[in-house]
Amino acid sequence: MLRPTENAVVPLPRSGRRLAVAAAVVVLAMLAWSVATNPRFGWDTVARYLFAPDILHGLWLTLQITICAMAIGIAGGVVLALMRLSASGFLRALSFGYIWFFRGTPVLVQLLFWFNIQALYPNIGLPFGPGLDVNALITPLVAAIFGLGLNEAAYMAEITRAGITSIDSGQAEAAKALGMTRAETLRRIVLPQAMRVIIPPTANETISLLKTSSIASVIAVTELLYSAQLIYSVNYLTVPLLVVASLWYLAVTTVLSIGQHYLERRFSRGALHVANRP
Amino acid sequence: MSQTGPECAMVDAAGIRKRFGTHVVLKDVSLAVRRGEVVCIIGPSGSGKSTLLRCLNRLEEIEAGRIVIDGELLGYREIDGRLHALPERVICRQRAAIGMVFQRFNLFPHLTALENVIEALVVVKKTPRQDATARGRALLGRVGLDDKALHYPSMLSGGQQQRVAIARALAMDPKLMLFDEPTSALDPELVGEVLTVMRELVRAGMTMVVVTHEMAFARDVADRVVFMEAGTIIEEGPPGVLFATPRQDRTRAFLSRVA
């Protein structure tokens, strides 16, 4: 430890800080006591329903929607970002139009739209080829995944674009001068560095999508929240079942946050604060 | 069509014109560099010397003129008197044979010094990683940095970073090396180590075009010094002649300012 002198150092008194900490501890303790002892929280009911088959099935659907929609969002976002940065004015305009439309309309409307797509196109398929019954193809789950995924792509496009443009143009130039193609430059040099900028907002988006997936309930997908609602609409144990759903959302968010931490560490290779670690 | 051999020029650039918007940066510049020759380009900032260098490996596309590197037309194929743009792959192959060192080093910060050196070998030349690593270590040794192989650029001094950048360019076995003000971003006490590495390259017979403000270096190692101003070559000649008895007033004025 660094010391200005060899003399003993008396730190400034921090009485204000100590007082604030004491007050916060008291308030938190009161809150915890009330949550633990108020019988209307129904902790025994929470415990009974936490691993109920309907709840676990709902959780599984929520995870499916989140993972699939985010995969569509990331893949679509990268493509849209590259289009946005392309030399072709047409591709730039196309990407801009997509982002404008999908960010500009409520995701709820988009979801309902996909759910009712068979009203517009009862059959799809190649002209003269075998047709596909859209009603059978676009199940509520598929509608939810596409609705949320295509919407997410618009947001991911902007995040990816911000990441790519944050990298100094000298990086791409050096790669070019070494004979790398544009694709190699992007994959090996630009994107790995852009990841540092892209990961934190992407984790935000993933966590946000996890919770937004609950609006799939409007198209009758029995995801986590809707499963809880279906149970309490029968037994009126509203608060305990909302607590059950919240605990699961918190659990998944915790896992995602841990994943974010390790991803960030992996992609901050070479950054000063990591490099200097022994 | 393509001829090689000692009599053939390494660089034959003729009538190069380049504009940025309405500003003409290069006005029909012609420059020839013989195999093994070291040419230093000097001149005030904004004179177009860096742009000329960047045209030589097609980091900038030219609007008129033609550039022939080692007997091969850069960026185009000539069929019946018409120039057809080459596909990206071919242009990348042409670029890979020309090493470039930047003023701001442009090392890849997410890769170690060794990984910086071997990245293009692995990605572009598809060299097996083990062979590339051996070659990378040898090159780092050549620039005096064998002990820094596993360091990231952020842990290296400017001079060390520039030496890694030189090793990275050399890894591709270039027949021509372009240096764009390689010591301008360095603290004065670090300039020497980079110039030492460059002198060693000169001794090894590398063909080099160096844009520089280091007049002593140019005087010492250049076979020919080119003075540029306002997008044209004002005067060129052996350093002994150009520095001692410049013919043009503008050359004299510039030299008196930097001396």
pLDDT digits (tens, 9 = 90+) for B229-248: 999 999 999 999 999 999 99
Amino acid A5: pLDDT: 62
Sheet bearing B72-73, strands edge to edge: B23-34, B9-20, B64-69, B72-73
Which residues, 6 or more positions from B121, have their beta carbon under 8 angstroms from its beta carbon? B127, B132, B135, B136, B171, B172
| Interior angle at CA B32, CA B239 and CA B199, nearest 5 | 45
Q: Do A188 and B119 count as a contact with CB atoms less than 8 A apart?
A: yes
Residue B117 to chain A, least CA–CA distance (Å): 10
Amino acid B81: pLDDT: 86
Using CA atoms, how far apart are residues B45 and B61, in angstroms rounded to an integer?
Answer: 21
Using CA atoms, how far apart are residues B5 and A22, in angstroms rounded to an integer?
Answer: 85
For testing the chain A interface, which of B54, B111, B117, B123 should be mutated: the one with the most A CBs within 10 Å?
B123
Of A195, A141, A191, A190, nearest to A170 by C-alpha is A190
- 3-state SS of chain B: helix, strand, coil percent to 5? 40, 25, 35
**CB hemisphere CA count around B50 (13 angstroms):** 13
Residue B78 to chain A, least CA–CA distance (Å): 22
Residue B107 with chain A: CB contacts under 8 Å: 174
Amino acid A129: pLDDT: 61
B183 touches B195 (CB < 8 A): yes
Q: Do A177 and B59 count as a contact with CB atoms less than 8 A apart?
A: yes
Reported ipTM: the value is: 0.92
pTM for the full predicted model = 0.84
Pairing of strands B232-237, B23-34: unpaired
Q: Do A181 and B92 count as a contact with CB atoms less than 8 A apart?
A: yes
Q: Do B154 and A177 count as a contact with CB atoms less than 8 A apart?
A: no
> Which residues 138-177 of A have a C-beta within 8 angstroms of B?
168, 170-171, 173-177
B141 touches B123 (CB < 8 A): no
Residue A195 to chain B, least CA–CA distance (Å): 11
State the DSSP code for B143. Answer: T
- In the numeric block, which tokens belong to residue B34? 């013989």
Q: Do A275 and B152 count as a contact with CB atoms less than 8 A apart?
A: yes
Of B194, B249, B202, nearest to B221 by C-alpha is B202
> Which residues 31-60 of B have a C-beta within 8 angstroms of A?
57, 59
Residue A122 to chain B, least CA–CA distance (Å): 44
Q: Helix (H, G, I), strand (E, B), or coil: what is residue B69?
A: strand
> Which residues 71-100 of B have a C-beta within 8 angstroms of A?
88-89, 92-93, 95-100
Amino acid A121: pLDDT: 79
B169 touches B100 (CB < 8 A): yes
| Pairs across A and B, CB distance < 8 A | 82
Using CA atoms, how far apart are residues B147 and B255, in angstroms rounded to an integer?
Answer: 40
**Per-residue pLDDT reduced to its tens digit, A54-100:** 999 999 999 999 999 999 999 999 999 999 999 999 999 999 999 99
Amino acid B164: pLDDT: 97
Task: Tell me which residues of chain A have a pLDDT lower than 50.
Answer: 273-278
Using CA atoms, how far apart are residues B123 and B119, in angstroms rounded to an integer?
Answer: 6
Residue A174 with chain B: CB contacts under 8 Å: 100, 102, 106-108, 165
B176 touches B98 (CB < 8 A): yes
What does chain A come to in residues? 278
Neighbours of B248 (CB within 10 A): 13
For testing the chain B interface, which of A167, A178, A184, A276 should be mutated: the one with the most B CBs within 10 Å?
A178
Residue B123 to chain A, least CA–CA distance (Å): 7
Chain centroid to CA A155: how far?
Answer: 11
Q: Helix (H, G, I), strand (E, B), or coil: what is residue B230?
A: coil
- In the numeric block, which tokens belong to residue B22? 């309405």
Cross-strand pairs, B24 = B19
Cross-strand pairs, B93 = none
Q: Does B113 touch chain A (CB under 8 A)?
A: no
A264 touches A198 (CB < 8 A): no
| pLDDT tens for each residue of chain B, 259 residues long | 444 545 579 999 999 999 999 999 999 999 999 999 999 999 999 999 999 999 999 999 999 999 999 999 999 998 888 989 999 999 999 999 999 999 999 999 999 999 999 999 999 999 999 999 999 999 999 999 999 999 999 999 999 999 999 999 999 999 999 999 999 999 999 999 999 999 999 999 999 999 999 999 999 999 999 999 999 999 999 999 999 999 999 999 999 998 6
